[in-house]
Amino acid sequence: MTNDEALALAVRLMACKHFRPMPGMRDLQGRTWAPDLLWRWNRTIDRPDLRDPATLGCLLALVGNLPEAEALVSALEAAP
């Protein structure tokens, strides 16, 4: 997955109102979110790195029965 593809998927994921950052996720800047950093989450700047296995695992935990599960699943399927 290219950087542009990863960014496009992250933007699509961020459009899901049920998305939330979880401890252990990595962003496209290489930072790992921790509980004490979640307060600074900024939907217009911070983007999850969908190439990171831990981030993908967190997304699987979020999918469940959400109304927007289709968008989340599409992002997971497009990940390497």
pLDDT in tens, 21-50: 888 888 888 888 877 765 566 767 788 898
The rounded mean pLDDT for the chain is 79
Place 80 in a pLDDT band, splitting at 50, 70 and 90.
low
pLDDT, residue 61, reads 80
What is the value of pTM for the model shown? 0.69
How far is it, in rounded angstroms, from Cα 68 to Cα 18? 7
State the distance between the two ends of the chain, measured CA to CA, in whole angstroms: 7
> Where are the domains positioned within the chain?
3-78
